[in-house]
Amino acid sequence: MIIQIFSIIFPVVAIVLVGYFYASKYQPNMDTANNINMNIFLPALMFSVLSKESFQIQNYQMLALSGVLVVLGSGVIAWIVAKALNINIKTFVPPMMFNNTGNVGLPIAVLAFGEIALGAAVVLFAIEMLLHFTFGAYILSKNTNFISIFKSPILIATLLGLFVNLVDLQFWLPMTQMLDLLGDAAIPLLLFTLGTRLIGINYSDWKLGALGSILCPLSGLIVMLLIIQFVNLEHLHYQQLILFAVLPPAVLNHMMAEKYNQQPETVASIVMIGNVGSLIVLPVALYFIL
């Protein structure tokens, strides 16, 4: 079992380290690569998975609902903790709610469960992204323009993929293969860019980051354990919901904090320390899942 878990974690950690050491030597500007991934590769992955005939949307309804409840429930717990400890809610709560479904969740799901798990992983990723760009943005600023959300390539690709699936539209095979190839680039690039972001992060707020690295997976796990008492999930979806619940804070939290000028340095510490802490949390979670 330990060897199996190591074989799952190793490729993820190795690619992150490649990004880290490359960035430490060459200090690349990854903004263009991140934009390409968010605007081209990830939308292609979303569309490719959701539009396939093998993806039956009705099989994912309860998983999607459970994902929503995990995100919102984690936010409630984080809000209570923040109020009790007099922590800035706008700084602390979003990273506890919105986890790293993209950079970590997608690759771990595929490596742990195989390609059959990609559909469920993409559904949870879409749920997390949609909530982050709507409710998460509202937490940071009540003046958020929600119309701009529908211009997001990831959301457009998600909706188009679901539409194509529902109407059973068949694409020209070379076109499908092209989209598959574009989507294949998304996950490795997510991991690589996560590694590059570890460079130059200010860890001065390490106490808050350490608290977040514990509370983020713990709050998700608590909510998940409550949900499964009332929701009946198939075994694979149950396993993926556990994995989703204990993921570390999303890197996107830092980007959102910068956009809304909400203590981005502190949020960066919370996010990165949480992701480093996941090197302990995820192997333990995989041990129980597998």
In the predicted structure, residue 203 carries a pLDDT above the cut 70: no
Containing H/E element for 180? Answer: helix 173-184
Q: What is the mean pLDDT of the chain?
A: 90
One DSSP character per residue, 45-114 reads HHHHHHHSTT--GGGGHHHHHHHHHHHHHHHHHHHHHHHHHT--HHHHHHHHHSB-IIIIIHHHHHHHH-
User: Can you give the pLDDT at residue 169?
Assistant: 84
The CATH number linked to 223 is: 1.20.1530.20
Q: What mean pLDDT is predicted for residues 109-124?
A: 91
More confident residue, 148 or 96: 96
- Name the least confident of 53-57, 188-192, 214-218, 271-275: 53-57
Buried b (16+ CB within 10 A) or exposed e, 168-181: eeeeeeeeeeebee
Highest mean pLDDT among 23-37, 41-55, 91-105: 91-105
* Residue 137: pLDDT over 90: no
Share of the chain above pLDDT 70, in %: 97
The pLDDT score that the predictor gives to residue 84 is 96
Supply the pLDDT for residue 200: 66
Residue 105: band (very low, low, confident or very high) from pLDDT cuts 50, 70, 90: very high
At residue 150 the predicted structure's pLDDT band, cuts being 50, 70 and 90, is: confident
Domain ranges, residue 167? 2-289
Task: Please give the Cα distance from 106 to 227 (Å, whole number).
Answer: 22
- What are the DSSP calls for 131-159, one per residue? HIIIIIHHHH-TT--GGGGGG-HHHHHHH
Q: Region 140-155: what's the mean pLDDT?
A: 78
Q: Quick one: average pLDDT of 138-149?
A: 78
Q: Give the pLDDT mean for 221-228.
A: 95
Mean pLDDT of 103-123: 91
Task: Single out the residue of 27, 39, 15 nearest to residue 104, CA to CA.
Answer: 15
Supply the Cα-derived Rg of the chain in whole angstroms.
18
Confidence of residue 65 (pLDDT cuts 50, 70, 90): very high
Look at residue 155 in the predicted model and tell me its pLDDT. 85
Give pTM, 2 decimals: 0.89
- 13-42 pLDDT, tens digit per residue, is 999 999 999 999 998 988 899 889 989 999
92: its two tokens: 């602390």
The CA distance from 120 to 271, in Å, is 24
- Please give the structure tokens belonging to residue 40: 């081209």
**Could you read off the pLDDT of 160-190 as tens digits, one per residue?**
998 998 888 888 889 999 999 999 999 999 8
Q: What is the pLDDT of residues 228-262, one digit of tens each?
A: 999 999 999 999 999 999 999 998 898 888 888 89
Q: Domains in the chain: how many in total?
A: 1
Q: Both tokens of residue 138?
A: 């509202």
Please classify residue 144 by burial: count the beta carbons closer than 10 Å to its beta carbon, then call 0-12 exposed, 13-18 middle and 19+ buried.
middle
pLDDT (0 to 100) of residue 146: 67
